[in-house]
Amino acid sequence: KAGVTQTPRYLIKTRGQQVTLSCSPISGHRSVSWYQQTPGQGLQFLFEYFSETQRNKGNFPGRFSGRQFSNSRSEMNVSTLELGDSALYLCASSPLGGLAGAGANVLTFGAGSRLTVL
């Protein structure tokens, strides 16, 4: 069974540019969550999608956006990049998210996309 696939794995951008990251969840998983991980702030929740709908959003500016497609694949976009956006962006999938008990919302993480903003 294939795991969570994130692309690209590494990318370098300059301030002001935008970036799109992609995530393919485990087959059958309908919930996709995105997290930003930095040494100083740890794992910070960005947003969660279920059946193409954003169910939850973390405390990030509007420059951070996402979407989910009908096949559960998800993308996140960061516009007008800032130096502080340099981070590891982690995507995680789960069968149902938080709807049905602890087992259904176990997150499986992808390898992450490491973004460096110069």
Of 61-90, binders to another protein (CB under 8 A) are 90
Q: Give whichever of 11 and 79 is closer to another protein, judged by the CB atom.
A: 11
Phi, psi of 2 (to 5 degrees): -70, 150
- Judged by CB under 8 A, the residue of 21, 50, 78, 117 near another protein is 50
Using rule CB under 8 A, residue 11 touches another protein = no
Residues in contact with another protein by CB under 8 A are 31, 33, 35, 42-43, 45, 48, 50, 55-56, 58, 90, 97-99, 101-103, 105-112
